Chain A
Amino acid sequence: DIQMTQSPSSLSATVGDRVTITCRASQSISTNLNWYLQTPGKAPKLLIYGASSLQRGVPSRFSGSGSGTVFTLTISSLQPEDFATYYCQQSYSTPRTFGPGTKVDI
């Protein structure tokens, strides 16, 4: 199975901050990497697919990059609704493993 790790596991930030989260895969997954946001009590929401493609309706302050084993999610200017937990997920093979999550709080 492909193992996914994320760093940091949590971070504190302020509205307007630029935030970067890193996700690493245990083997190369090309660009088969997705990012999701989850707020408490809600289902995950897709932000980025294919490592860098923005899902329809997602604000342009979110961006993704990377290929192979190292990927990043960047929020250019943090907004109040962005305080949440972020998960990466590989879709290169099954099981479609998720990272452990990065919690962004105030």
Chain B
Amino acid sequence: VQLVDSGGGVVQPGRSLRLSCEASGFTFSSYGMHWVRQAPGKGLQWVAGISKTGYTEDYADSVKGRFTISRDNSKKTLYLQMNSLRAEDTAVYYCAREEINWAYYYDYWGQGTLVTVSS
């Protein structure tokens, strides 16, 4: 199982960026996927999640209306479209696979991609 995050960079406030998470080594379409971020020197914050079919999405209040999570199961890729970026969105963004048996948990994580929002 491997998750590879990409798409981070330096962007000005108010601009957009799209992150990608390329999956391999497992049946991507069988798992819900999530994005979790970590601001510099801070803790982990859940950002968004999407069901295995892509029909159900959920967002943290801090990004609702600005970020959109999506997936392309044919390409085994998860996306996070980030619009109207703010300085407080500066963080390392990780994608994570959510395993579901009798419990829900993130058993595999990407390596993270750094997003810096600065003028």
Give A contacts to B, CB under 8 Å.
Answer: 31-32, 34, 36, 38, 43-46, 49-50, 53, 55, 87, 89, 91, 94-101
Contact = CB atoms under 8 A, between A and B. Distances in A.
Contacts of B111: 43
A95 B106 contact: no
B58 A44 contact: no
B7 to A, nearest CB: 16
Contacts of A50: 102-103, 105
Chain B binding site: helix, strand, loop or mixed by DSSP?
A: strand
Interface in B28-60: 34, 36, 43-46, 49, 58, 60
A12 B49 CA distance: 35
B46 A96 contact: yes
Contact of A44 (B49, B60, B102, B109): B109
A95 B109 contact: no
Chain A binding site: helix, strand, loop or mixed by DSSP?
A: loop
Contact of B112 (A43, A95, A98): A43
B17 to A, nearest CB: 20
Given A94-B58, A96-B46, A98-B46, A46 B94 contact: no
Given A44-B94, A44-B109, A32 B104 contact: yes
A38 B61 CA distance: 25
A100 B45 CA distance: 9
A45 B36 CA distance: 13
A87 B103 contact: no
Contacts of B45: 98
B105 A46 contact: yes
B14 to A, nearest CB: 25
Given A43-B110, A43-B112, A98 B103 contact: no
A54 to B, nearest CB: 12
Instruction: Please give me the 3 A-B residue pairs with the lowest Cβ-Cβ distance, nearest first.
Output: A50-B103, A49-B105, A91-B104
Given A43-B111, A43-B112, A95-B60, A34 B46 contact: no
Contact of A46 (B43, B107, B110): B107
Contact of A96 (B34, B43, B103, B110): B34
